[in-house]
Structure 1
Amino acid sequence: MRNGQRRRGYDMAADIPCDHFILRRIDVGRITLNVREKGSGPLMLFFHGITSNSAVFEPLMARLSDRFTTIAVDQRGHGLSDKPQTGYEANDYADDIAGLVRTLDRGHAILVGHSLGARNSVTAAAKYPDLVRSVIAIDFTPYIETEALDALEARVNAGSQLFENVKGVEAYLAGRYPNIPADAIRLRAKSGYRPVAGGLRPLASPAAMAQTAKGLRSDLVPAYRDVTKPVLIVRGEMSKLVSAAALANTSRLRPDLPVVVVPDADHYVNEVSPEITLKAIKNFIDA
Structure 2
Amino acid sequence: MSARRVDTGRITLHVREQGRGPLMLFFHGITSNSAVFAPLMEQLSHRFRTVAVDQRGHGLSDKPETGYDADDYAADIAGLIRSLDAGPAILVGHSLGSRNSVTAAASYPDLVRSVVAIDFTPYIETEVFDALESRVNAGDQLFADAAAVKAYLAARYVNLPRAAIDIRAESGYRAVDGGLRPLASPTAMAQTARGLRRDLVPVYRAVSKPVLLVRGADSKLVSADALAKTSRLRPDLPVVVVPGADHYVNEIAPDITVKAITNFVDA
TM-score using structure 1 length: 0.93
State the aligned residue count: 267
What amino acid maps onto 1:271 in structure 2?
Answer: E
Tell me the residue number matched to 1:155. 135
Given the alignment, which residue of 28, 31, 38 partners 1:51? 31
Write the letter of the residue equivalent to 1:149: F
Residue equivalent to 1:86? 66
- Identify which of 234, 258, 261 aligns with 1:278: 258
Q: Say whether residues 1:238 and 2:218 are aligned partners.
A: yes
1:11 corresponding residue in structure 2? none
Unaligned runs of 5+ in 2: none
Other structure's SS at 1:233 match? strand
Matches within 5 A, 1:208-227: 208-227=188-207
1:31 matches 2:14: no
Give the alignment's Cα RMSD to 1 decimal: 0.4
Partner of residue 111, structure 1: 91
Query: C-alpha distance in 1, partners of 2:234/2:249?
Result: 22
1:51 partner SS: coil
Partner SS for 1:72 = strand
- For 1:259 and 1:244, the matched residues in 2 are separated by 12
Structure 1, unaligned runs of 5 or more: 1-20
Match of 2:181 in 1: 201
Alignment of 1:74 with 2:54, yes or no, is yes
Which residue identity is paired with 2:213?
A: I
Is 1:135 the counterpart of 2:115? The answer is: yes
Report the Cα offset of residue 229 of structure 1. 0.3
Residue 177, structure 1, aligned to residue 161, structure 2: no
**One-letter amino acid matched to 1:197:** D
Match of 2:78 in 1: 98
Name the CA distance, whole Å, in 2 between partners of 1:271 and 1:22: 21
- CA positional deviation for 1:275: 1.2
Question: What is the alpha-carbon distance in structure 2 between the residues aligned to residue 216 and residue 91 of structure 1?
Answer: 11
> 1: CA distance between counterparts of 2:260 and 2:134?
31
Query: In the TM superposition, what is the alpha-carbon distance from 1:264 to its structure 2 partner?
Result: 1.2
AA paired with 1:34?
A: H
SS in 2 for 1:238: coil
Scaled by the length of structure 2, the TM-score of the pair is: 1.00
Tell me how far apart the structure 2 counterparts of residues 71 and 263 of structure 1 sit (CA, whole Å): 27
Counterpart CA distance in 2 for 1:151 and 1:75 is: 22
SS in 1 for 2:24: strand
- 3-state SS of paired residue (1:210): helix
Deviation digits for residues 204-232 of structure 1 (CA, Å, limit 9, x no counterpart): 00000000000000001111100000000
- Measured after TM superposition, the shift of residue 98 of structure 1 is 0.2
Per-residue deviation at 1:274? 1.0
Deviation at 1:107, TM superposition (A): 2.2
SS of corresponding position for 2:14: strand
Counterpart residue identity of residue 91, structure 2: L
Query: 1:6 aligns to what?
Result: none
- Distance across 1 between alignment mates of 2:12 and 2:108: 20
Q: Secondary structure at the match of 1:195?
A: strand
Task: State the AA in 2 paired with 1:172.
Answer: Y
3-state SS of paired residue (2:104)? helix
Counterpart CA distance in 2 for 1:236 and 1:189 is 23
Query: d(CA) in 2 for partners of 1:263 and 1:281?
Result: 16
1:262: which partner in 2? 242
